[in-house]
Amino acid sequence: MTDRIVISLRAALSAAFVFSIISMGCSKDSAPTSTAADVETGILLNVTTGMDDLHAVSMGLNLAKTAAERGLPVVVFLNVAAPIFASTSLPADTQYQDFPPVQELLSAVMAGGGKVFVCGHCAEVAGVDLTTLMPGVVVSEHGTLLAALGPGLVGFSY
């Protein structure tokens, strides 16, 4: 019984210590100069899925299109199996059921001010010729993509 009391007392003291440290860091004098409401929220859409799941790809791109139409910052990153969707060699009618064609969704994202990046290495592995990319699509290496990411982006992965 005494061991339980000692353990409980230690836990209570540890919790009080952690709370006091957190409280000191949250004093009025150390308040942040900006809040989440001050940062414009946008989306980073990471698409790794390929032709085997057009439903997932269409869902993600439709979300990105809607965000771009609403004036939100949008960054789409097509990597792993997804670079094919930015290639003009993709049949124009590639779509999932009643969704718009994939390239129409990508065009709408870019028309709304969104940025579309394709991983150059992934495109090469997938056999996508980089000279066939849709106008406006950027071949991205790590630095190019990272430079496009701003504060406030919420990530979605399909």
Tell me the C-alpha distance between 90 and 147, whole Å.
28
What's the Cα-to-Cα distance from 71 to each of 66, 67, 78, 112, 139, rounded to whole Å?
A: 9, 7, 21, 7, 24
User: How many helices (DSSP H) and strands (DSSP E) are in the chain?
Assistant: 5, 5
Low-confidence ranges of the chain (pLDDT < 70): 1-39
Dihedral in degrees, nearest 10, Cα atoms 111, 144, 152, 71: -10
Give pLDDT, residue 152.
87
Give pLDDT, residue 60.
98
Give pLDDT, residue 33.
52
31-58: pLDDT as tens digits:
445 444 555 789 999 999 999 999 999 9
Task: Residue 50: count other Cβ atoms within 10 Å of its Cβ.
Answer: 17
Q: Which CATH architecture has domain 36-157?
A: 3-Layer(aba) Sandwich (3.40)
pTM, two decimal places: 0.75
Give pLDDT, residue 44.
97
Residues 6+ apart with CB under 8 A from 97: 55
Give pLDDT, residue 2.
52
78-96: pLDDT as tens digits:
999 999 999 999 999 999 9
